[in-house]
DNA sequence: ATTGAATCATACAGACCTGTCTGGTAGAGT
DNA sequence: ACTCTACCAGACAGGTCTGTATGATTCAAT
């Protein structure tokens, strides 16, 4: 089998992704150069360009990795909750946990989007997880028999984004709870 | 009088600020170099460093200018509205107007904060207008006899930020109206 | 044993960055 | 007439950036 060569490739790839994740998230994608990434990954520069082709594609992979992790976290969390209402509130509970991690620096997609400049690759990659969350909220709002599920879904995203922003920029670590409280008011009490 | 020499200094300063405002807001503070700013301003590089001392201070001045303009817009708008409830909703109406401008690229403070990196100068400059808006909402919530004005003030900021983000990142130009509708629900109908 | 893929280290190109320095010009106040 | 201030143009220093090129090494598969 090709396991070993594949293992080596993924090993370099994964080390690069891990380094990119830490550095890009902590410092911002534009303030981190390729050299810092490969140094932390312990990988040659040529390997980076073999694996990803460009910095932009590395950023894209970093964002996709974050999106997948967030999505899995949310899916897993709401699977364990019985009602649509509780599922929605569970997303805010999850956010409350995340923002209290010491290395929390805000929503990676919000931040990358702000730094994207002209790159539609990066902007597009940021939009995907946002659209997914919105559709989740909308479906849950529908299941919760909201009068206007589309509208409610968008409003829930406002609260989610706003809370993430307040937690990181203003240092309001209880923002998700405040957003959750408002979400609870909006939802049909069932 | 010193009007002429003062006029020339402010002229260079103002041209620099105007160029910085356009370029930084449109492209992001880290993707715009000093050379592009001075070229658009039609000003010598030495003049920039005479006036501002560093790029960071130019960014700070750019952000302060944006903050002053936003604050003045909001103050003027709510001065013409009779009740606290209408004043609060008026802020969202104002946001609805702003995000429909063709050159709207999102909230300058959100974006600069995402790009700030280690610079506490820039981060701090972003926090000021945010704290001001939050205190406005809180005071208005108190005047509107909300049960918990502090909480409501924070929640209104979530909606404001979330709507601005949705408008710019997701292209949802009606986001402020959706946020306004929710704000209207939260407020004591009086 | 040989081939081929993945990876390594390192130098380089060419561009861009911030900030400084030199030296010159124009006009207002004294 | 002289000075002072604001401003100009442009070169320069020293660093960082992305991306490419060169050539060696390791190791699995054949």
Kindly list the residues from chain B whose CB atom is less than 8 angstroms away from the CB atom of residue A179: 155, 158
pLDDT of residue B170: 97
Of B150 and A2, the structure prediction assigns the larger pLDDT to B150
Burial of B16 (0-12, 13-18, 19+ CB in 10 A): buried
> Per-residue b/e over A76-91, b at no fewer than 16 CB within 10 Å?
eebeeeeebbbbbbbb
What's the CA A52/C1' C19 distance, rounded, in angstroms?
35
A166 touches chain B (CB under 8 A): yes
Q: Please, is B68 exposed, middle or buried when counting C-beta atoms within 10 Å of its C-beta (0-12, 13-18, 19+)?
A: exposed
Within 7 Å: CB of B45 and strand D? yes
Q: How many C-beta atoms surround the C-beta of residue B50 within 10 A? A: 12
User: Which residues of chain A (4-23) touch nucleic strand C at CB < 7 A?
Assistant: 5, 8-13
* Inter-residue contact B91 to B160 (CB < 8 Å): yes
Nearest to B11 by CA among B37, B39, B47, B45: B47
Is A165 exposed, middle or buried (CB count within 10 Å of its CB: 0-12, 13-18, 19+)?
buried
A130 touches strand D (CB under 7 A): no
| Residues in B 95-134 with any Cβ partner in A closer than 8 A | 106, 110-111, 113-115, 117-118, 123, 126-127, 130-131, 134
3-state SS of chain A: helix, strand, coil percent to 5? 75, 0, 25
Burial of B9 (0-12, 13-18, 19+ CB in 10 A): middle
Tell me: the pLDDT tens digits for A41-90?
999 999 999 999 999 999 999 999 999 999 999 999 999 999 999 999 99
- The answer to whether residues A56 and A119 touch, using CB atoms and an 8 Å cutoff, is yes
pLDDT surpassing 50 at residue A13: yes
Which token pair is B111?
Answer: 């974006």
B89-102 pLDDT tens trace: 999 999 999 999 99
CB pairs under 8 A between A and B: 121
* Low-confidence residues in chain B, pLDDT < 50: 1-5
With H, G, I as helix, E, B as strand and everything else as coil, classify residue B64: helix
User: Is the separation of the CB atoms in B123 and B150 below 8 Å?
Assistant: no
Q: Which nucleotide is nearest to A44 (CA to C1')?
A: C8
Among A117, A127, A170, select the one facing B27 at the smallest CB separation: A117
Cα–Cα separations (whole angstroms), residue A119 to A81, A113, B27, B106, B163? 39, 9, 11, 16, 23
Euclidean distance between CA atoms A37 and A45, whole angstroms = 9
The stretch A7-27 carries a mean pLDDT of 87
Better-predicted residue by pLDDT, B11 or A162:
A162
For the segment A115-141, the average pLDDT, to the nearest whole number, is 97
Angle between helices B149-169 and A175-186 (to 10 degrees): 90
Neighbour tally for B40: CB within 10 Å: 16
Residue B38, CA atoms < 13 Å, CB-side half-sphere: 15
Q: Is pLDDT above 90 for A2?
A: no
Q: How many CB atoms lie within 10 A of CB B147?
A: 8
The nucleotide whose C1' lies nearest the CA of A35 is D17
A120 contacts in chain B (CB < 8 Å): none
Residues 60 through 99 of chain A touching chain B, CB cutoff 8 Å: none
Is the distance from CB of A58 to CB of A12 less than 8 angstroms? no
C-alpha–C-alpha distance, residues B154 and A98, integer Å:
19
């Amino acid at each position: 089998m090709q396991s070993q060569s594949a293992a080596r490739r993924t090993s370099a790839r994964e080390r690069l992704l891990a380094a990119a994740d830490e550095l890009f998230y902590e410092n911002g994608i534009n303030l981190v150069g390729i050299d810092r990434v490969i140094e932390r990954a312990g990988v040659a520069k040529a390997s980076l360009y073999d694996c990803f082709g460009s910095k932009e594609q590395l950023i894209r992979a970093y964002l996709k990795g974050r999106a997948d992790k967030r999505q899995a976290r949310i899916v897993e969390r709401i699977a364990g909750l019985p009602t649509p209402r509780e599922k929605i509130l569970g997303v805010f509970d999850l956010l409350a946990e995340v923002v209290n991690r010491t290395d929390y620096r805000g929503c990676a997609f919000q931040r990358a989007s702000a730094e994207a400049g002209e790159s539609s690759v990066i902007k597009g990659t940021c939009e995907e997880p946002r659209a997914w969350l919105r559709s989740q909220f909308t479906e849950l709002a529908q299941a919760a028999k909201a009068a206007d599920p589309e509208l409610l879904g968008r409003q829930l995203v406002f609260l989610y984004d706003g809370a993430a922003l307040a937690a990181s920029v203003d240092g309001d670590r209880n923002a998700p709870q405040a957003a959750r409280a408002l979400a609870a008011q909006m939802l049909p009490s069932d």
